């Protein structure tokens, strides 16, 4: 099974504007789609008689603060164990409305992965059975993996820039 075959099938099923930014890195097909296409596309790839992407390897949140209207994203890593083929699907949403549909009905493993993306990035998975923090304290009112915080503590005086090559 070739990556071009998967791309052609997805574009025929969902349209060329629903499957864009198609690239290949280390033999892994990568593309971007809209949030509304995620669930139908994953169902299609899961149930396809030849592709059989029935294993969710990972689901990861991402934050690009400079990408206006697409600040928060989710990357879905799928694996067809029968064909030994992997692919990555990316989708983006604005930080003001970080809503993605849950995929826990299709991949049970997505439960904790979606909770982690919520916990660290504030991504809301609509329809999730228990979207609560999984690693951080419930009392936290922020999402620590967002790139909203300085990398260093500007109040420290024990660092001499010359010693750090600055």
DSSP labels, 106-153: T-TTHHHHHHHHHHHH--EEET-TT---SSS-TT--S-TTSS-S-SS-
Assign 149 a pLDDT band (cuts: 50, 70, 90). confident
Assign 28 a pLDDT band (cuts: 50, 70, 90). very high
Q: What is the mean pLDDT of residues 76-105?
A: 97
Determine the Cα–Cα distance for residues 141 and 138; give it in Å rounded to an integer: 8
Give the list of residues 6+ apart from residue 9 with CB closer than 8 angstroms, or none.
48, 51
Q: State yes or no: pLDDT of 17 exceeds 80.
A: yes
pLDDT of residue 165: 65
DSSP-derived secondary structure letter, 60: E
The tens digit of pLDDT for each residue in 33-85 reads: 999 999 999 999 999 999 999 999 999 999 999 999 999 999 999 999 999 99
∠ at Cα 15 (81, 96), nearest 5°? 85
Determine the Cα–Cα distance for residues 58 and 28; give it in Å rounded to an integer: 14
Cite the DSSP H helix spans in the chain: 3-14, 38-47, 110-121
Of 97, 27, 26, 100, residue with least CA distance to 61: 100
Mean per-residue pLDDT over the chain, rounded = 93
pLDDT of residue 99: 98
Contact yes or no for 14/72 (Cβ under 8 A): no
Determine the Cα–Cα distance for residues 147 and 145; give it in Å rounded to an integer: 6
Domains of the chain listed by start with CATH number: 3-150 (3.30.460.80)
pTM above 0.75, yes or no: yes
Written as six digits, the tokens of 75 are 């990357």
């Amino acid at each position: 099974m070739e990556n071009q075959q998967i791309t052609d099938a997805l574009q025929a099923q969902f349209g060329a504007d629903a499957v864009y930014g198609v690239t290949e890195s280390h033999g892994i097909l990568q593309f971007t789609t809209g949030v509304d296409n995620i669930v139908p596309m994953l169902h299609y790839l899961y149930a396809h008689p030849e592709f059989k992407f029935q294993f969710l390897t990972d689901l990861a949140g991402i934050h690009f603060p400079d990408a206006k209207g697409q600040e928060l994203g989710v990357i879905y890593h799928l694996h067809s164990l029968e064909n030994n083929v992997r692919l990555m699907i990316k989708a983006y949403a604005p930080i003001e409305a970080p809503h993605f549909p849950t995929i826990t009905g299709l991949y049970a493993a997505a439960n904790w992965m979606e909770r982690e993306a919520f916990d660290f990035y504030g991504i809301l998975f609509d329809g999730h059975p228990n979207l609560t923090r999984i690693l951080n304290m419930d009392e936290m009112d922020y999402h620590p993996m967002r790139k909203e915080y300085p990398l260093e503590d500007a109040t420290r005086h024990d660092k001499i820039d010359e010693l750090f090559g600055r």
